[in-house]
Structure formats: C-alpha cells, structure tokens
Amino acid sequence: GDASRAAAGTGGRRGGASLTFSLGDWLRRAGRPRPLPGRLEDGRARAPAPPPAPHLFSDPAEIEALRGNLLAWYDRCKRDLPWRTLVRGVWVSEIMLQQTQVATVIDYYNRWMQKWPTLQALAQASLEEVNELWAGLGYYSRGKRLQEAARKVRWCWGVGGVSKALCSLWVGAGSHLPCLAGAASCWHKATGVVDGNVIRVLCRLRCIGADSSSPPVIDRLWDMANTLVDRSRPGDFNQALMELGATVCVPKAPLCGECPVKQHCRARRRVEKELAFASQKLFGKPDPVPDVEDCGKCVGGCPLCPPATEPWDSSLGVTNFPRKAAKKQPRVVKTATCVLERRGCHGAPEYLIVQRPNSGLLAGLWEFPSLLLAQGLQEEKQQEALADHLQAWMGWPVAAGDLQLIGEVVHIFSHIHQTYVVYSLPLDGDVTLDPASSPSRWVTEEEFHASAVSTAMKKVLGDTWAFPSFPLGSSPQPLRAVPVPGPSCCSALGSLVLPSGAEST
C-alpha cells in the first residue's frame, strides 16, 4: 500500500493512530456476545481483577456528563462528510479511510458510490474494475475485500435477510472494524467502537500508557468504549468519538482548549497540575506534592500505566499517550523494472504492462515487467538478470546492453522499502507476446493511467518520461519485432520479439 501517505508514528488515517484487526479479532471482540461481567465465555465465574480506578470510567454521573458534552459538540461541529447518512457509505468509507486521509478518500468514495450505487452492482463488478477505481489509494486488498463482502452479503440477503452475523461479515470485510458505528445505528445496538482515533482519545482520557496495540490494553479499551457508548444514540456517539480523535484530539498537537471532554481528561489534568506545580516553585512557594494521575500501582507494575522504562515525559504533555511498541523496520527490497515501449498505430508511444498474481502484494494490479533482485547485486549483474528475465519471458535473446538505465524510484509500502531500478527498452515495430506468459497488454499513456496500476508504477513512467538524455523511442538499438498475422498495433497477444539483426528460427 501507499504507506508514504500514512502519517508517521502514532499517526494514521485522518491524522489519527492506526490499528487494524483481523476478522477473527473483530468477531471475537464484537460480533460474538461478550461474556457477562465477572464471567468467562463458558459462563464460569472469573476471579475479579482489582480495577485500576484511574484508568476506568466508574462514576455514572461522569459518564452521563461526558456523553452529553460529546454529543452536543458533535451536533454542533461535525464535518459534513458524504458518507454520514448511509450505512453502506459508512462501511465503504471506513475501509477507504484506513491509513488514508479524509481529503484523499472523498473523491474515491464519490466515484465508488456513483459507479456501484447498490450492493448488487458492486457484487457484479469485476476485480479489474475494482482495482482500476482503487488505483492510487493504496492497500489494494481493501477494495478486493469490499467486493468479496458485497458478494457474500448479497448471498446472505437472498437466504436469510440482514442479521447480526451479516453485520459481522460487513465489518470483517476489510480486516478492520469499519462500520460498527453505522451498524450500531442501523441495528439500534449500543455497542462501542475502537479504532485508531478512539484509542488515542481513550488512552488520553484515562492516562493509559501501556502499549496500545497489546491485547490486554485493547480489551480494556473495548470495555471502556462499551461502558461509555450512549444508549439512545450509539451510532452518533461512536461517530463523535472518532470525530473528536480526527479533528481535536489529534496525534501531535491536540487542541485541548477546544475539547468538549477536557474536564474528563486525566492526561490534561496531569499537565495542568504539573504547570501549577512549576509555577508555585517559580514563585518560591513551598513545594506541594504533585498529585499526578498515576494509578498508584505504577511501581508495582500496573498493566495500563507507562512502563517503568519509559515513564511520563513532561515535555510531551498529553501526547505521552497513547504509546505503541516500536515498529519493525521495513524490509528493504530492490526490483528491476523495464519500460518496454513501441510506437502505436498513430505514432503515439505504447507501453507493455503485465498483470501481477492474484495474491500477495499489489495482487492483480498491472506493472511494467519486473524482476525481484537478489541482495547486493552489482548494477551490471542486475542488468544481466533483467535481460535474462525478459528473454525467458519473450522467448528471444535480449542483450543486457540493450537495456537503458533510467534511474531509481523509491516507494515506501507499509512494511517494505521498495526501490525500483528502472530500465527502458524501445521496440521497433509491431510486438506482441507469448500468450502463455502472464496476462499482458499494450497501453497508451492515457490507458496506462486509467488502468489498475499502482502509484509506484506511475512514478516509474513519470521518471522515464522525465529522463532528459534518452527520449523514449530513440534507443540506438531498438529491438525488431517479428510481424504476425492478426490485429496489429492495439492488440495484446501474439508474436515474439527479436533484437535487431537476430534471426527468427
């Protein structure tokens, strides 16, 4: 996916922290009935854990006040977003909004809803159409899962009507909990919601400084969200909590002064007390004991307080919360890619693109012919490896010297630091490919941009065009194609390619 667009650190979609859940996780936490308080899932009594009070909402009056303040603020200040009123819209938008900013999503959302105005229409779409519309949004499996879910939902609709199980299916479609807020409205169920924005808000409200992606903390946050959710307006309440995280309680510079729930926020209270303490010290007043918001068990190892190794840092203020375990370093990957170009029937350049496998990274998307390179391969060897790859693919000799090095394009996926080493290979004449190899087709520049290609491939083509000393089509040694019967310049399949001077056998 296009993680380069995702916010860094604890930031994420809509400027908020990111957290994804598998379908199994979601079903475990939300789709199945939660055990009664004090009971295990099999009904047996559970030994009560002593509640760390400062991390809880236990005062009914405070809960009521927080609900009222938050909903009043939401009614007054909510953003006018196109997906607010339609449950299906909430579902689509929440999946699009994973790791992606609202401003980016709106155009994709509008085009999606216009193209597939009903679930039935989406269910009948091809994966190719879905990928084409999704191109550039990143995390491409999301679109595929949306479409798969629409097919399953349509089937469920046919046999059993909408049910809570169906709701779970919708929600799980994106390996995230995208539409619980909408589902809560739709099915009038007072169910809390926990996404990246909510995690940030709740961790700050209750000074939760343990790793916010760890299962015990996530479970505690679900409990808290279910406790807080307004019983008469659950959907609005959940939307309001997410909205607060997206617009006020943002990752880096939260607007605490404008926050409708600031009087319930323990992180803010701690900051205020520290400021008061510092000011008293400045004026030489006797040192009061700072009444910090620790739960009193920190020294003994409270599972929700910041770890002893990373205590509260006054310079960070409320942004001490939430905390996440250090991210794994992205895998470094190098790929050689070749822009094969020919002149089309009207003299305009055309490019060869091939389709990636239907699973794995960028599944089903189109790209220029590419080869994953072994670590530490020298440039000369890279070129030879790519030439061998193209040769095996096309079935005819390709000399490494025919490949013109254009440069490198770096693209950051969520877990991969990808460098594309870009080569160009102009071809002379009408060229088609062995139909036994990966699906492939020739496209004009316009068709390329309308195809299901990743942002990285668009960068590759952009860089190829921008290369000043080697305009495409001016290779000193263009490969000569062998003409074959059948449709010519705009066809996708057919013949083989020969280097200039090579003989067909």
Contacting residues toward ligand SF4, per CB under 6 A: 201, 204-205, 248-249, 254, 256, 259, 261-262, 265, 267-268, 318
Contact assessment for residue 363 and residue 355, using Cβ atoms and an 8 Å cutoff: no
Q: How far is CA 124 from CA 112, 116, 127, 154, 451, in A?
A: 14, 9, 10, 10, 19
Pairing of strands 366-367, 370-372: unpaired
Q: Which residues pair with 419 in a beta bridge?
A: 334, 410
Q: How far is the CB of 176 from ligand SF4 (least distance, A)?
A: 23
CA separation for the pair 253, 356 (Å, rounded): 41
Of the two residues 46 and 252, which places its CB atom closer to ligand SF4 in the complex? 252
> CA nearest 281: which of 319, 249, 314, 238?
314
Q: Which residues pair with 211 in a beta bridge?
A: 323
Contact assessment for residue 246 and residue 14, using Cβ atoms and an 8 Å cutoff: yes
> CA nearest 249: which of 238, 236, 265?
265
Q: What three-state secondary structure class fits 187?
A: coil
Q: How far is the CB of 259 from ligand SF4 (least distance, A)?
A: 3
Q: How far is the CB of 318 from ligand SF4 (least distance, A)?
A: 4
CA separation for the pair 101, 281 (Å, rounded): 43
Of the two residues 145 and 200, which places its CB atom closer to ligand SF4 in the complex? 200
Q: How far is the CB of 196 from ligand SF4 (least distance, A)?
A: 14
Q: What three-state secondary structure class fits 321?
A: coil
Q: Which residues pair with 422 in a beta bridge?
A: 337, 407
Contact assessment for residue 416 and residue 470, using Cβ atoms and an 8 Å cutoff: no
Q: How far is the CB of 349 from ligand SF4 (least distance, A)?
A: 53
What long-range pairs does 219-223 form, CB within 8 A, spacing at least 24? 219/29, 220/55, 220/304, 221/194, 222/29, 222/30, 222/192, 222/194
Of the two residues 145 and 204, which places its CB atom closer to ligand SF4 in the complex? 204
Establish whether 447 is a catalytic residue: no
41, 62, 64, 94: which is the annotated catalytic residue? 94
Of the two residues 292 and 490, which places its CB atom closer to ligand SF4 in the complex? 292
Q: What is the dihedral of CA 233, 236, 237, 239, to 10 degrees?
A: 160
Task: Pull the structure tokens for residue 17.
Answer: 């922290």
Of the two residues 198 and 497, which places its CB atom closer to ligand SF4 in the complex? 198
Q: Which residues pair with 372 in a beta bridge?
A: 335
Of the two residues 294 and 367, which places its CB atom closer to ligand SF4 in the complex? 294
Of the two residues 62 and 107, which places its CB atom closer to ligand SF4 in the complex? 62
Of the two residues 205 and 365, which places its CB atom closer to ligand SF4 in the complex? 205
Of the two residues 23 and 318, which places its CB atom closer to ligand SF4 in the complex? 318
Q: How far is CA 253 from CA 15, 325, 489, 503, in A?
A: 11, 21, 56, 67
Please return the burial class of 157, using the count of CB atoms within 10 Å of its CB with bins 0-12, 13-18 and 19+: middle
CA separation for the pair 221, 193 (Å, rounded): 9
Q: Which regions of 344-488 does DSSP assign to beta strands (E)?
A: 349-355, 366-367, 370-372, 404-412, 416-428, 440-444, 479-481
How would DSSP label each residue in 76-126? Answer: HH----TTSS-HHHHHHHHHHTTTS-HHHHHHHHHHHHHH--SHHHHHHS-
Of the two residues 13 and 204, which places its CB atom closer to ligand SF4 in the complex? 204
> CA nearest 198: which of 210, 206, 190?
206
Q: Active-site residues: which are they? A: 94
